[in-house]
Amino acid sequence: MSQCCPAIGDSAADYFGAARAEHDLAVYRADGPGRTTRGLLAGIAASGIRPSTVLDIGSGIGTMSFELLDAGAAGATCVDLSPAFAKFGSIEAVRRGVAERITWRTTDFVTVAPDLPPAELVILDRVVCCYPAFDALLQQAADHAVVLLAMSYPRDRWYVRAAFAAENLVRKLRRRAFRAFVHSPARMDAILAGAGLRRLRTESTMMWQMDIYRRAAS
């Protein structure tokens, strides 16, 4: 995804509509995965673990899941609030011949988490920044991660906060209700550590950080 992924509320479903989904699919087909997705995929590969089951939270069109299925994963569950992203992701799944290996859920992950099975790998690629209150999201995500959790999020830097504030101001002026957030990495790490996950690897760009966590007993 070019920005934060869909997460909660009608505002996110509206903001991440058909035009954005179609654009993201066209970019993926032309150029492959985006920078944070590539970083997370590299981190997963470096862990030495080849996850068989994937839970892709805020999946967008399913880019991460497609790449992991190509790498050998048996199946993926893609959860995204935007019907448009699920629609275009389903189209791509059929084109790639993996439709039977992906389950799509169009809803907010936090509301359906108790009904979803755990997975060897849980993904949150540009998702945490869409939740104003992210504690429940991370706690539920961690509880579903049997072995690995891969997460990308905005770096907590002054220039990143300034950029997000500017983007949010533009959305406000355009009367779009969706907002994006820069959260404390220390607080997020504490939630995951409390759930039994330890950070294996971190990588960053100027704007984004990509972390790979592994369950301590794994």
Q: What is the DSSP string of 63-132?
A: HHHHHHHHTT-SEEEEEES-HHHHHHHHHHHHHHT-GGGEEEEES-HHHHGGGSPPEEEEEEES-GGG-S
Question: What pLDDT is attached to residue 13?
Answer: 58
Residue 175 has pLDDT above 90, yes or no: no
Joined together, the tokens standing for residue 106 give 């169009």
- Distant-in-sequence, close-in-space partners of 13: CB < 8 Å, separation ≥ 6: 6, 81, 82, 83
User: Do residues 56 and 62 make contact, with C-beta atoms less than 8 angstroms apart?
Assistant: yes
Question: What pLDDT is attached to residue 56?
Answer: 98
- Reported as a pLDDT band with limits 50, 70 and 90, residue 10 is low
pLDDT in tens, 81-125: 889 999 999 999 999 999 999 999 999 999 999 999 999 999 999
Average pLDDT over every residue of 67-78: 97
Report how far residue 66's alpha carbon sits from residue 157's, in angstroms, rounded to the nearest whole number: 31
CATH dotted code for 9-215: 3.40.50.150
Region of residue 126 (phi > 0: left; psi between -120 and 50: alpha; otherwise: beta): left
- Reported as a pLDDT band with limits 50, 70 and 90, residue 218 is low
Question: What pLDDT is attached to residue 43?
Answer: 97
Q: Give the angle 91-93-97 at the CA atoms, nearest 5°.
A: 120
Mean pLDDT of the chain, nearest integer = 92
Average pLDDT over every residue of 66-75: 97
Count other Cβ atoms within 10 Å, centred on residue 92: 18
Q: What is the pTM of this model?
A: 0.91
DSSP state of 61: T
